[in-house]
Amino acid sequence: MQKTLLCLGCGYTARHLASQLLARGWRVIGTAREPVAVPGVDMLTWPGEDIPLAGVTHVLSSIGPNERGDPVLAHLRDEIAAAAAHFKWVGYLSTTAVYGDRDGGWVDETTPVAPTSERGTWRSLAEQHWQQIPDLPLHIFRLAGIYGPGRGPFAKLMAGKARRIVKPGQVFSRIHVDDIVQALLASIDAPNAGGIYNLCDDDPAPPQDVLGYAAELLGLPVPAEVPFDEAGMTPMARSFYGENKRVRNNRIKDELGVELLYPSYREGLQAVLAAEDMERFVPPSEPPAL
């Protein structure tokens, strides 16, 4: 029987996973809110079209919840519950925001969930609702900030729009999309129903350091620092700075055997720059105003 992955929300991360599974001979079905073509993937517009669960062996949900809950479970919970025993693996992409603010302290998968933001609360509830489906071989992946080709800071730096916002003591954890994919593949190859995994690199770092390093890679001046209280950020952007924690990733190494391709943002940004269209990043004759 051909292995078939259903990607509920075939976005950035899911598409990278799909490309790896297609190379293994899998069938991949994906959903998107608007009609879109993804090479090799059988795409459905959802909500709208029916979601076929017959023949699906693996499921990945990356659709985020909102104040009304998880939209996948709102529409498909009964169907998923009825098919639960037939799935070999189900993955839910969550976020490290479920841990809330820890004033820069370390968290791991044994740390009690204590969200301090709206989005963290929604995610925490969504995790619980997925966990409540009987016999579902569920694996929860709590993702740090995702970056990769097309999701790096280089274009913003070249456009002169990047700002090094500084909040003393603030750090963020992050992870390259390729390391997310290798962790998901390792879990698919060795399912452990009920498993919860933090997906992040080894080096929680201040955001201004990351942006400064990216500028150095481009040979551009490092943007001046802007104090957080003077940055004039949107409420959504400010909310990210309301959580300060360092996330441990030992479990993906110990249980899944993952060896990070990019253990810090330095290796990761080098790879992103190499993967992106270098012609877009030729420094202009005069540096942009930063």
List of E strands, 4-119: 4-8, 27-32, 42-45, 58-61, 89-95, 106-107
pLDDT at 133: 98
pLDDT tens for the chain, 290 residues long, are 799 999 999 999 999 999 999 999 999 999 999 999 999 999 999 999 999 999 999 999 999 999 999 999 999 999 999 999 999 999 999 999 999 999 999 999 999 999 999 999 999 999 999 999 999 999 999 999 999 999 989 988 998 889 999 999 999 999 999 999 999 999 999 999 999 999 999 999 999 999 999 999 999 999 999 999 998 888 888 888 999 999 999 999 999 999 999 999 999 999 999 998 644 544 433 333 22
Which one-letter amino acid corresponds to residue 1? M
The number of C-alpha atoms within 13 Å of 205 and in the hemisphere containing its C-beta is 18
Identify the structural domains of the chain with CATH numbers, from first to last.
64-281 (3.40.50.720)
Residue 163 buriedness (CB in 10 A; 0-12 / 13-18 / 19+): middle
